[in-house]
A and B are shown apart, each in its own frame.
Chain A
Amino acid sequence: MRRPRLLYVPFWATYLFLYAPIAVLVFMSFNSGDSPYSFEGFSLKWYGELAGNAEIRHGLVNTLVVALGSTILATVLGTLLAVGMARHSRSKLLDAVSVLPAVLPDLVLAIGLLVFYGMIKMTLGLHSVLLAHTVFGMAFVAAVVRTRLTHADTSLEEASRDLGAGPVTTFLRITLPQLTPGIAAGALLAFTLSVDEFVIAFFTAAPTEPTLPIVIYSMVRFGVTPEINALATLLLAVSFTVVIVAQRMTRLTESLS
C-alpha cells in the first residue's frame, strides 16, 4: 500500500526548519555585496577578507591550540578515569560524579573555574581555557569509553595475565585496543565541543587571548557581516568533515575488532 504523500509533510517541514538557516548562511557567504541580507552576485571576496583578518587568524590559532591541547589531555585522563571506574571502584556515587561536568550548565562550570583559578592565584591566559575545556572534555571521554568498557569482556584481560603479561602490558596490548573506537569517538567529541565552546572560554580566557567564538561574538555585536557568514561556512565544512571521518573511523575500528 502506498503511503499518503501528506505524511511526509511534517518530516520535510522539520528538515526545512533545521537546515534553512544554514543553507541561507552558506549561500549568503558567497555574496559580492556588503549586506548579509540581500544577495547581489556570486563572489569569493569575503573569504579573501577573512584570510586577511588578523584578529580572526589569532582567534583561530588560539581555538586550535585549546581544542588540540584539551582533547589530548581529556582523552588520556578520561580514558584512565573510565578504566579506573570500571575496574577498580564499586562506588555508584563516584561513577555518577565522574560524568557530572558533562551535564553541568556551562555557566556553573565557568564561574566555578574562575573562582578556583582566583583562589589558586593562577593568571588567566590560553592555558586557563585549555584546562577548563579539559575538565568537561574529560567527562565526555570518560562517559563514552565507560560504555565500551562495560561491554568489554574481562576474560580477555584475564587471558592476557594468564599468558604471562603483567598489568601494564595487559592494559596496553589488550584493554586499550578494545577501547580504541570509544576513545576515538570521545576524542572527536571533546574536540568539536571545544572548538565552538563560548561561555566557559569567555569567562576563563585572558582578554588578550580570545578564542574564535569570542572573536566572532565581538564582531557580531556591531552587526553580522558576510565575512562572518564565510567563517561560519568554513566551520561548518570542518565539522562535517570531522563527523564523517569519525563515522568512517569507528566503522573501521569496529570491523577490525
Chain B
Amino acid sequence: MLQITGVSRRFGDVTALADVSLEIRQGEFFALLGPSGCGKTTLLRILAGFESPDSGAVTLDGEDLLGRPAHRRPVNLMFQSYALFPHMTVAKNVAYGLEREKLPKAEVRSRVAEVLEKVGLTSMAGRRPQQLSGGQRQRVALARAIVKRPRLLLLDEPLSALDKKVRAEMQLELKRLQHEVGITFVVVTHDQEEAMSLADRIAVFSAGQVEQVDAPVALYERPRTPFVAGFVGANNLFSGRACSVGLAADGLGVLPGSSDLPDGTPALLAVRPERLRLDGGQNGEGVLKGEVADVSFYGGVSHVSVTVPGRAEPVLAATQGATPIRAGARVSLSWAAGDGVLVPQ
C-alpha cells in the first residue's frame, strides 16, 4: 500500500534518514521504533508533506505522494503536541477537516457526532482544548484525524504526553479504534513496550537507518542486528565468534546458541533474562558460574544480577515471583541452545 524507497534526508551534517526503504500493508498497524533523534518524526513529516526528502520515492497505492502538497494528500498526521486549535471548540476542531472538503453541513454534523461518540467525548463537544485533560486532548486529536477517513493515519508519539496509567488505557483504545475504522496506522514511538503491544509489525530505526522490520514476537525472539538485540527488551549480550554449537565467547568459552552463521563470523550471542536458568550451589551443571551481586523484587518477577568472572557487566536473570537466592550466593547459569540467538556483528 505505502511504498517508501530509498528515502534520505540530511540537515546540515546531521543525517536524519539514510536510504530508508519500507513497505506498509493495507489495514496494518505499523510502528516505527527507535531512540530519540533517530529520524522517526522526519519520516512522518515527509509522508505528511511538511518535509521533502533529498532523494528517494514514496508511493501510496502506486501513486506518487511526494509531488502533492500536504493539503492534497489522503494522509493525516496526529501531531506529537496534538496541535489542537485553541480558539475552536472540540466539535469545531473535529469538523475543521470535513468543512475543508466542502461536505454538506448535515453530513459534517453527523460525522463529527459519530466520531466523538467513538472516542467517548460526546459530552465535551462544546469545550475548548485547554479545558480538557491530557488524555481527552489526545482523543480529540485522534478524532480530528480519523474523521477525515484518510487512507493512512500517521501518529507521532501519540501517547508520550500521558501519564502511565492513562497511557495503558489509551493503548488499548488505539488498538480497538484502528480495528474498528480499518485505517492503516503508522505510529512512531521510542517506547519498545508500546510498539510491541500496539503494532502488527515494527520497524526498528537507529541513526536514520532501518535495522529490522518484523512482527513483535519475531523481533523479540530473533533480533538480527546488535542494535535490535540491545534495544528491544532486556538482553544479555556476549561477544565472540560463531561456532558449530553456538558462540566461542571472548574469555568465557563456548556458549550454547543456534544460528546458521558460518563458523568464525564475529557475532553477538543474545540470551533473554527470563530464558536463563539459575541454580544454587556448586553442582557444576551450568554454562556459566558466578556470584549473585544483587536481587531486586518487582512483584511478578525478580531480577537477579550475577557477576561472572571474565565478564565486565553482570549477567541478568529473571525468575517468576520471589526467589530464595540472596546476594553473595554462588550460582550457576544455563540455557537451552535454542534460547541463545546469534547476531552477526
Contact = CB atoms under 8 A, between A and B. Distances in A.
B71 A156 contact: no
B226 interface: no
Q: What secondary structure prevails in chain A residues at the interface with B?
A: helix
Contact of B87 (A158, A161, A177): A177
Interface in B40-88: 48-50, 69-72, 76-77, 79, 81, 83-87
Given A155-B81, A257-B86, A163 B144 contact: yes
B233 to A, nearest CB: 33
B83 A161 contact: no
B100 interface: yes
A163 B48 contact: no
B96 interface: yes
B86 A163 contact: no
A21 interface: no
Contacts of A163: 71, 76, 96-97, 100, 144, 148
Contact of B70 (A155, A161, A169): A161
Instruction: Name which of B50, B69, B144 has the most chain A CB atoms within 10 A of its CB.
Output: B50
B180 interface: no
Give the interface size class of chain A.
10 to 19
A239 interface: no
B163 interface: no
Given A163-B97, A163-B144, A164-B101, A156 B85 contact: yes
Contact of B83 (A153, A173, A177, A257): A153
Q: Interface of chain B, helix or strand or loop or mixed?
A: loop
A257 B49 CA distance: 27
Nearest to B130: A257
Contacts of B69: 161
Interface in B71-128: 71-72, 76-77, 79, 81, 83-87, 96-97, 100-101
A174 interface: yes
A178 B87 CA distance: 8
Contacts of B83: 153, 155-156, 158-159
A140 B144 CA distance: 37
A162 B71 contact: yes
A32 interface: no
A114 interface: no
A165 interface: yes
Nearest to B81: A155
A138 B293 CA distance: 71
Contacts of A256: 87
B48 A162 contact: yes
Nearest to B100: A164
8 contacts: A155-B83, A156-B86, A161-B49, A161-B69, A161-B70, A164-B71, A178-B87, A256-B87
Interface of A: 153, 155-156, 158-166, 169, 173-174, 177-178, 256-257
The 10 closest A-B pairs by CB, nearest first: A163-B97, A164-B100, A159-B83, A155-B83, A161-B70, A177-B87, A161-B71, A257-B87, A165-B100, A162-B77
Given A163-B71, A165-B100, 10 more contacts: A153-B81, A155-B79, A156-B86, A158-B79, A159-B77, A159-B79, A159-B85, A160-B96, A163-B76, A165-B71
